[in-house]
Structure formats: structure tokens, C-alpha cells
Amino acid sequence: MANLTSYAGKVLRSARDSIRGASLSGNAVAGYLSAAKRVLFYSPLEKLFHSQKYLSIVLEKDAASACVIKMSSSGSKIVSKNTFGDTYPSPEELVSFLNLIVGGTSASALKTILNVPKEWWVIKTAEFPVIAMNNISAAIAFQIPDLTPFSTADVYYDFEIIKREDGKLYTVIYAVKRQMAEPYLKALAGGGFKVSSMVLSPASLMNLLGQVPAMPDNIILVNLRRTHVELVAAERGITTAVYTVKGGVGDVVKAIGGIGAADTAVVVNCPNTDVSTDINTDTLQELKAALPTCQDFKELLPALNDAIGYEYFTAAAAVFADAGKKTKGMNMLSLGETQKKSLPIALTIILSVIFVVLFTLSLYIPIWNDEKAVADIDKQIKALKPEFERLTALQKDTKKIDGDLSVLNSMMAKRVLMMELIRELTLTLPQDTWLARLVATEKDVNLEGYAVNASALIGMLENSKSFKDAGTTSTTFKDARMGKERFQIKAALKE
């Protein structure tokens, strides 16, 4: 009770300082309202007694698992867990499987997380001008058709910002095919399991590794699956790519060397039992011999390994990431929108008791001694409220206009670049050359079409004022129907 009183006293003193320092400006009003909100929405028992049961479902190509975990202020507890066969079940089988796991627990009382397999999703990195930050969700949605084989309406998606550098936002975009996920979402909803978040299994494991002390920002996680090896790359703790490697330890080491920087940590997630693949039970030891700095996932998290085991690492990681997040976490169902946690509402009776106690402790709360001064400030605040609301509305309108302008400027820049490229190609390529496909980015162009002499086109592009480093990307062959050579050429854009 003493700690609780001390904390509430600090909150009230912060409110007093905001009131006394208020002036006739919009910032002063905002400061007063912020301090008042901290007092009115303070819930002293929220963290002490709150608990939540999670149902975490993991679908993988070679396995499926689920577990119920209870999270509370005192820690976590595995309520139940189980695995399903050697592959992931059908939607109907999954619901039946989950009913066995939850037992008598009501499905509506569980916060359900769905970890989807690699075959369902794609990961792409993208750059945006930093001005797009004000409307980044709309910019991401606009770019999805260009970055993935799908339209925005065909996927569930989310994104994370890796860094801001040189006036740019470096982001990673995650997209899940709706046609794969929706049968499971509908079946789960029909069975009473409403999925609150859909995440990627590798990203969940990366979040768990991020909680290990002294773990660097750049990590490669080596997941040893039954049929293949999965390499998960993370930059600044954010999953940026997932690669599949088949073969022996040498192939894995070679792949790691191709994607990892010198300061990248390598962590191996290895089953407790043998796996039916080209990689044998000595894989971890062989990797340690080839990569002396690599670490064992289970050794980094020994307590978790003892409590839950390898098969449920991903399920537990998704729960810990959701329960511990302070800002927006990954959720494909959010469609890139930032979801803010609602403020906890204070218990009226508890607050009343706290205020009565604090009023008796004049040494701790000399706030309301001058009632006239507080009344004057209240009048000033009420007088400024219409102006404050007007300024707030103008600020929202300004942000919206800035976001729309940034998206429009980005679109116009791309159109101007495309028109310049088409004009240059028209002047450079011979009249008897046909283009069947043109793909242009900020760095290069890919041309596909027909020409009498396709090899001559490379020299023409090299000698043009806009293109360099031209070369074929596939074998050139004679098309009998067109009577010309079919070509695919890629050329970089000159600075």
C-alpha cells in the first residue's frame, strides 16, 4: 500500500505541476488534459491481478502444434499442449484438434494466435521517402501489387520499419495469401476460436531471441526442419528474409556466409530427437565446428526448453511477443494499421480511497490548498477549449493533406521516370524490335520481346545516354511464329 500511495502521489504531483505551469496556449491545455488523464485512468490493480489465457496455434509444412498458456503478473504457465501428425491438418481437423486441447475451457475466453507456415506468405523489403511516415499504411497498401504477385485485396499483410536513414524509411512487408488463410480463419471462428492475431512463425522465434541479454541486432536463425533447413535473417531484431536450404552442413554454412555480415550472430534451433533429412543428429556439432561463434537456441533459453520443449518453442514465442509488446506488434489481420491499446479504466472505489488517504497526507500532496487558483485555471481552460478543438481539427486535416501529397508526389515521380524510359527506348531500339514486357524500377529495367538481331540490342543500350551494364537474363532463341529472336535483357540506369 505504501508503494501504491507513493506512485499515486507522484502522478498527482505531476498533475499539479502541469496545472501550475499552464499558460493561455494550446500546449498548456494539452499538458493539463494529459496530466488529468493520467490520474483519472490510473488503475493500480491492473498489473497486479490481470491474467490472460492464450491459445497459440502453429501450422508448419512438416508439423502442427498448439498449446494453452496462462500469462499473469507472476509469470507464465503451460496449461495444455499437443502436436498433430507429420503435417498441418485441414480446417475441420484443426478445430477438432483444438477442442481436445482446450478441454473444458471456453474458446471465447482464450486469446487465439495463429502462426502460419512459410508456404502461405512472402516477405519483401521496400524503401519510402521519410515524408511518407505520416501516411505509411496507405503507402504500403499501394506498393503491395508492385512488390508481390498479389493485389492488396488478395492478402492479409503487415509491415515493420527497420530504420530511418538518409531521408528514407527502410521497411519490411509481410503478406499472407487470403485463399490459404481464410478457410482456417472461418473454421476457427465457427468453432468459437476467434483469431486475434495472425503472425509468421519465424518472426515469433526472432522476437523470443530478442529477449536474450547481449544478443546483437543482426541474427541468422538456423531452423532444422524434418525435410529442409530454414534460415531466418533479422536486421535490428526485425525479420527481413527467410531462405530454404536443402543439402548438408556445407550447404548451410555456405548459405549463411552469403547472407550474414561479420557481426551477425548465428543461432541453431535443433530438435531434441533425430530428423529424417540429409542432416543427421550431429548437425549442431558440425555447425559449431564450421561456425565457432554459432549458439544453440536451447542453451540460450534453458528454462523455456525444460518447461515446454522444442516442439512448442514457436507457439510460446508468439504468446510472449503478444503479452510483452508495448507498441504495435506484428498482426497480418491488421492490414498494416497501427492498433493502439486502450487505456485501463480506473476502479472508482479504489481511486476514491486513494484520494481520501492522500488528502490526509498534506506532506505528500499540497496540491488543492488554493481552491480559488484551481477554479481560475478551470475557467481559463473552459474558455480555451473551443480554440483547442479547432486547432486539433486543423492539425488532423494538415496531416491528412501531407500524407495525400506525399503519396501523389511518389506516384508522379514514378510516372515521369517511366515516360523518360519509354522515350529513350523508342529512340534507341530499332524499328523492327517489339517489346512484349517492360518492368522498370528506380535502379534498372527488364526488357522482354522480339528482334531480328537480339545481341545487337545490348550494344545499343550500352551506347545510350540512360542505360548501362546491359546483358541477357535468359537464353535468346528464334521464335518460329514471329520470325524473330525472343530476348530478355536487363540494363541498369545511369546515375
pLDDT at position 43 is 53
> Which of the four pLDDT bands, split at 50, 70 and 90, describes residue 55?
very high
pLDDT at position 274 is 46
Residues 275 and 282 sit within 8 Å (Cβ to Cβ): no
pLDDT at position 92 is 92
Cell of 214: 547481449
- CA dihedral sign of residues 8, 11, 17, 22: negative
State the CB neighbour count (10 A cutoff) for residue 41.
14
Higher pLDDT, 363 or 209: 209
Radius of gyration of the chain from its Cα atoms, rounded to whole angstroms: 29
> Which of the four pLDDT bands, split at 50, 70 and 90, describes residue 364?
low
pLDDT at position 409 is 65
> Which of the four pLDDT bands, split at 50, 70 and 90, describes residue 340?
very low
pLDDT per residue over 420-441, tens digit each?
878 888 888 888 888 888 888 8
Place of cell 499472407: 176
pTM over 0.75: no
Lowest mean pLDDT among 31-45, 219-233, 415-429, 476-490: 31-45
Q: CA 125 to CA 131: how far, in whole Å?
A: 18
pLDDT at position 25 is 40
> Which of the four pLDDT bands, split at 50, 70 and 90, describes residue 347?
low
Residues 222 and 252 sit within 8 Å (Cβ to Cβ): yes
> Which of the four pLDDT bands, split at 50, 70 and 90, describes residue 450?
very high
| Mean pLDDT score across all residues of the chain | 78
Domains of the chain: 2-44+348-393 (no CATH), 46-194+301-345 (3.30.420.380), 213-296 (3.30.420.40), 429-493 (no CATH)
Higher pLDDT, 214 or 136: 136
* Range 403-421 average pLDDT: 68
The full 3-state SS of the chain, as one line of letters, equals: CHHHHHHHHHHHHHHHHHHHCCCCCHHHHHHHHHHHHHHHCCCCCHHHHCEEEEEEEEECCCCEEEEEEEEECCEEEEEEEEEECCCCCCHHHHHHHHHHHHCCCCHHHEEEEEEECHHHEEEEEEEEEHHHHHHHHHHHHHHHHHHCCCCHHHEEEEEEEEEEECCEEEEEEEEEEHHHHHHHHHHHHHCCCCEEEEEEHHHHHHHHHCCCCCCCCCEEEEEECCCCEEEEEEECCEEEEEEEECCCHHHHHHHHHHHCCCCCEEEEECCCCCCCCCCCCCHHHHHHHHCCCCEEHHHHCHHHHHHCCHHHHHHHHHHHHHHHCCCCCCCHHHCCCCCCCCCCCCCHHHHHHHHHHHHHCCCCCCCCCCHHHHHHHHHHHHHHHHHHHHHHHHHHHHHHHHHHHHHHHHHHHHHHHHHHHHHHHHHHCCCCCEEEEEEECCCEEEEEEEECCHHHHHHHHHCCCCEEEEEECCCCEEECCCCEEEEEEEEEECC
Q: Is 331 left (phi over 0), alpha (psi -120 to 50) or beta?
A: beta
* Range 108-115 average pLDDT: 91
Q: CA 265 to CA 238: how far, in whole Å?
A: 14
State the CB neighbour count (10 A cutoff) for residue 114.
25
Q: CA 238 to CA 320: how far, in whole Å?
A: 16
Strand partners, 60: none
> Which of the four pLDDT bands, split at 50, 70 and 90, describes residue 448?
very high
Residue 218 has pLDDT above 60, yes or no: yes
pLDDT above 70 as % of the chain: 79
Strand partners, 493: 467
Higher pLDDT, 452 or 42: 452
pLDDT at position 204 is 83
Total length of the chain: 495
Q: CA 194 to CA 98: how far, in whole Å?
A: 12
Q: CA 310 to CA 442: how far, in whole Å?
A: 44
